[in-house]
Amino acid sequence: MGTDISAPTLGGATLPHPSSGSYIEPIWISADNITLGGKTRREVMARKYRYTLNYDVMDTDTYDALETVVNGLVAITFTYAKWTQSTAGVSVLADLSSREPVAGTGSTGYWSKVTLTLTEVSSRI
């Protein structure tokens, strides 16, 4: 039987567990060169990760709290025990998609499809 994994946190906001289709993408800042002898060399200047969390449904209260954190326009700490790259907490810049309503009515009683993209600030090398 598996171990329960705590929900991800971003700054002061605890997020729901993301839907399937969420992923981690490595980002490499590098230069490839071919030597006079024909060998390819790669110089890596930076390596970091981009985390994409997809939510098939997110209620308005959670979205509003998340939007407040993201709109601070500063680096914030992201922690998610499911992904070992972020278990200890990493400093990220956040982008939040617009809301795509999927159910409910009114100005506060609906759920939206949302994507949260987090890019690490510092290189890991």
- pLDDT tens per residue across span 4-40: 778 999 987 889 999 988 999 999 999 999 999 999 9
- pLDDT at position 104 is 79
Average of pLDDT values for 68-86? 92
Asked if the structure places residue 3 within a domain, the reply is no
Q: Which of 95, 114, 112, 96 is nearest to 54 (CA)?
A: 114
Asked if the structure places residue 125 within a domain, the reply is no
CB atoms within 10 A of CB 55: 23
Asked if the structure places residue 47 within a domain, the reply is yes
Q: Report d(CA 37, CA 28) in Å as an integer.
A: 25
Q: Which residue has the higher pLDDT, 108 or 118?
A: 118
Asked if the structure places residue 101 within a domain, the reply is yes
Asked if the structure places residue 4 within a domain, the reply is no
Q: What pTM does this model have?
A: 0.84
Domain count across the chain: 1
Asked if the structure places residue 20 within a domain, the reply is yes
Domain that residue 115 falls in: 9-120
Exposed, middle or buried by CB within 10 Å (0-12, 13-18, 19+), for 110? Answer: middle
Cα-to-chain-centroid distance, residue 114: 12
| Residue 1 pLDDT class (50, 70, 90 cuts) | low
